[in-house]
Amino acid sequence: MSDLGLLTMLAVRLRSRGTAAVIVETVVELHAGDGTDLSAHVDRILAAAVDDGRVRRRGEEGRHSLTPAGEAELNALLAADLVGPDRADAATAYEAFLPINRRFLASVVGWQDGLVELETFLALIDEVVPILDSLTGLRARFGGYAPRLVGAVSEAVDDPAWVDAPGLDSIHTVWFELHEHLLASLGRARVDER
């Protein structure tokens, strides 16, 4: 399967129940390419995955999710994509991410209780950027997270919903997707985290 195929299946996992437009948008964010319009290519890959049972499409809006066969294929593709020293480096980056992630989750709760300021999230993002830089050096698909996090903070200055609203590309939404991407890339589960 092509790199675009891997990214499309990954986008379905990261944006489970996303429409085709959301999947295409996510692939573009992950692709970090030359600005080529990927819509038609991703639409074809997504349609083929639906046709052969790797992706389930439901509802009038066409919400997509991986089937067990699609999940198994994605796991195999990611395992084959990140091997040897690159996998070890990604695992090291993930271990560095975990304590920051715990503080991030506590900060979201604090924000919802009115006890945390926006600056806290900016400081956490500043801590995670070097980790993202190292991951981006391994695979370009990690490169979009830092700009998206910074963009969400910029939006949150004027609209606090951009901190944790699920319907927006909010700080929490982007962080959650990054975490899921790390887990998927390393074949790990949240329940295994310390």
Q: 176-186: per-residue pLDDT in tens? A: 999 999 999 99
Three-class SS of residue 164?
helix
Quick one: what percent of the chain has pLDDT higher than 70? 96
| Distance from C-alpha of 66 to C-alpha of 58, rounded to nearest angstrom | 11
- Residue pair 55/67 in contact by the 8 Å Cβ criterion: yes
Contacts for 108 with CB less than 8 Å, ≥ 6 apart: 116, 163, 164, 172
Can you say how many angstroms the Cα of residue 18 is from the centroid of all Cα atoms in its chain? 13
| Distance from C-alpha of 91 to C-alpha of 182, rounded to nearest angstrom | 9
Measure the N-to-C terminal CA separation of the chain; round to a whole number of Å: 34
> Is 48 a residue whose pLDDT tops 80?
yes
pLDDT tens digits, 98-117: 999 999 999 999 999 999 99
- Residue pair 13/184 in contact by the 8 Å Cβ criterion: yes
